């Protein structure tokens, strides 16, 4: 049986831009995306620490090293510039993989720079 598990998490990202009239959904600094093992167009779940909202969307690349976290389109109704969010991705594991699986956790500072990587 395959079961869905946490694959990676970016913890306490600060939203730098929110735009209702933009095509796309969640823009993420490409360096952060790579560090977490996430890919462009991957489905992610986003948890808004600031207001408790939750949503599922997909990733688009922002410039590497920019620290940019952009929330675009309909998602901008739930997440605003300055909000603190958690971005998660999940993957299916076979029973034999579960014991050895460890998600990659990226902890950010107040400027969206990596302060710690747990894996």
Residues with catalytic roles: 25, 58
Half-sphere exposure of residue 114: CA atoms within 13 angstroms, side-chain side: 18
**DSSP H helical ranges for the chain:** 30-36, 95-98
Contacts of residue 75, Cβ cutoff 8 Å, sequence gap at least 6: 25, 26, 46, 55, 57
């Amino acid at each position: 049986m395959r079961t869905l598990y946490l694959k990676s998490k970016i913890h306490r990202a600060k939203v730098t831009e929110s735009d209702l009239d933009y095509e796309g959904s969640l823009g993420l600094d490409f360096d952060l995306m790579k560090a977490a093992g996430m890919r462009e167009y991957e489905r992610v779940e986003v948890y808004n620490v600031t207001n408790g909202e939750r949503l599922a969307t997909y990733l688009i690349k922002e410039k590497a090293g920019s620290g940019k976290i952009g929330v675009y389109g309909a998602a901008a109704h739930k997440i605003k510039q300055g909000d603190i969010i958690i971005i998660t991705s999940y993957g299916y594991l076979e029973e034999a993989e579960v014991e050895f699986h460890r998600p990659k956790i990226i902890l950010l500072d107040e400027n969206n720079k990596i302060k710690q990587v747990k894996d």
